[in-house]
Amino acid sequence: MSTQPPAPPPSPQRGGPSDDVPVLAAVDLRKHFPVRGFRSQQVVHAVDDVNLELHRGRVVALVGESGSGKSTIARLLAQLMPATGGQILLHGEDARVKNRRGFRRYVRRVQMIFQDPFGSLNPIHTIRYTLTRSVKIHQGNLRGKELEAALTQLLERVQLTPPSRYIDKFPHELSGGQRQRVAIARALAADPEVLLADEPISMLDVSIRLGILNLLRDLRDRLQIAILYITHDIASARYFADRTMVMYAGRVVETGDSESVTQDPKHPYTQLLVRSAPDPDDLDARARGARGEAPSLVRPPTGCRFNPRCPFANELCRTEVPPLLAVGEGREAACWGYADRGDRPELGELLDVYGDRPAVDVSVIEALDATVPGPRKGDDR
């Protein structure tokens, strides 16, 4: 499947001045966590030099394995912890909060949804209480009918209808998907411009995951919210996000529109990721025999952080950090293979390196098949 469909279907570039300035942007964002221990000088390089822009009514997916720093970025953007370096810009202005009041002002515009709807709702309070708190904090001291109308509207927005059936329930009386909807409703009470969704579906049952994604997409279209969608599932990023950023070991390795990143990955790590995901339609093109694991972030490898696992790495990759290089329209990849330099590594086809089938002699199997009586299952045409 090499043909690339044109630009992602939903919400193509809209004109207008407000679209040029991202709602929320991170510039050279960096977070190092100190390593505990006596006189320890070491730090974990959780996030390094990440640039990211969230636009109105657009979804950006942040894809990476666990420990690649994607949740750290969400927490930095939500200002739940201070960044080590870099800037967070809200509508182009520095948005670093200095005190509680500033933080409140900030969270009114940037809300977060957490992974675990079982842990993020207080079990001893009803849905009414949880949502009322949020409404009163962000929309002022509503009472009586006004409050009731606000709560009803929130629950209807997340498709928990009729609201009267859910409003007086406790979290334990709801299913995982319903709880996640309540968590989204709570975030919407602030009428935010940005929603940071940290793995919003990975704790949910498979059959209801798409319902939540479709709800978030609907909110994006109707309320023009900018959404950062964090996930480890690159297929769901393709389904839901306009743009996809792939992270590896604390750095962004590839960005671009979701369709081209998933269909024609440029960075060797993205290729490995796409080729490793289970895909029953394309069993032949799976990366087999790949070895290695993400590096320690206390002492990350010099140069490209993927170089110890990369089959194409050369001396340049081991010494210098690759910048994000343009590899197509609106696409960038942090790989020296796309640089315009004499000492760049030669990129090959990942499947040639990893596509080897397990060493099974096919003739033996065919001989075995011939001896097997009875109907053969799944005759492969």
Q: Which of 207, 329, 342, 349 binds another protein (CB under 8 A)?
A: 207
Q: Which of 79, 178, 260, 270 binds another protein (CB under 8 A)?
A: 178
Q: Which of 281, 329, 346, 352 binds another protein (CB under 8 A)?
A: 281
Does residue 124 bind another protein (CB under 8 A)?
no
Q: Which of 15, 123, 278, 342 binds another protein (CB under 8 A)?
A: 278
Nearer residue to another protein within complex by CB, 174 or 189: 174
Q: Are 127 and 168 in contact (CB under 8 A)?
A: yes
Does residue 235 bind another protein (CB under 8 A)?
yes
Q: How far is CA 118 from CA 112, 199, 259, 293, 365, in A?
A: 15, 13, 33, 31, 48
Q: Classify 49 in phi/psi space as left (phi over 0), alpha (psi -120 to 50) or beta.
A: left
Stretch that binds another protein, among 48-56, 74-82, 126-134, 360-368 (CB under 8 A): 360-368
Helix (H) or strand (E) holding 252: strand 251-257
Residue type, 229: Y
Does residue 140 bind another protein (CB under 8 A)?
no
Does residue 214 bind another protein (CB under 8 A)?
yes
Nearer residue to another protein within complex by CB, 340 or 379: 379
Q: Are 195 and 107 in contact (CB under 8 A)?
A: no
Does residue 368 bind another protein (CB under 8 A)?
yes
Does residue 238 bind another protein (CB under 8 A)?
yes
Does residue 36 bind another protein (CB under 8 A)?
no
Q: How far is CA 210 from CA 43, 180, 217, in A?
A: 38, 12, 10
To the nearest whole angstrom, how small is the minimum distance from the Cβ of residue 91 to another protein?
A: 31
What are phi and psi for residue 350, nearest 5 degrees? -60, -35
Nearer residue to another protein within complex by CB, 53 or 65: 65
Nearer residue to another protein within complex by CB, 281 or 346: 281
Does residue 262 bind another protein (CB under 8 A)?
yes
- Is the peptide bond preceding residue 162 cis, with omega within 30 degrees of 0? yes
Spatial CB neighbours of 185, under 8 Å, sequence gap ≥ 6: 131, 154, 155, 157, 158, 160
Does residue 357 bind another protein (CB under 8 A)?
yes
Q: Which of 40, 175, 302, 319 binds another protein (CB under 8 A)?
A: 175
Does residue 35 bind another protein (CB under 8 A)?
no
Does residue 365 bind another protein (CB under 8 A)?
yes
Report the site for another protein in 239-258 (rule: CB under 8 A). 239-240
Does residue 210 bind another protein (CB under 8 A)?
yes
Does residue 20 bind another protein (CB under 8 A)?
no
Nearest in space to 269 (alpha carbons), one of 305, 229, 240: 305
Spatial CB neighbours of 34, under 8 Å, sequence gap ≥ 6: 40, 42, 43, 44
Does residue 229 bind another protein (CB under 8 A)?
no
Q: Which two tokens stand for residue 264?
A: 């024609």
Class of residue 145 by CB neighbours under 10 A (exposed 0-12, middle 13-18, buried 19+): exposed
Nearer residue to another protein within complex by CB, 4 or 122: 4
Nearer residue to another protein within complex by CB, 18 or 175: 175
Beta-carbon count within 10 A of 97 CB: 15
Does residue 277 bind another protein (CB under 8 A)?
yes
Nearest in space to 241 (alpha carbons), one of 226, 223, 229, 250: 229
For 97, which DSSP code?
-
Helix (H) or strand (E) holding 101: helix 100-109
Q: Are 275 and 286 in contact (CB under 8 A)?
A: yes
Report the site for another protein in 289-318 (rule: CB under 8 A). 289-291, 293
What residues make contact with another protein under the rule CB under 8 A?
1, 5, 9, 65-66, 175-178, 205-211, 214, 232, 234-236, 238-240, 259, 262-263, 272-274, 276-284, 286-291, 293, 357-358, 360, 362, 365, 368-369, 372-375, 377-378, 380-381
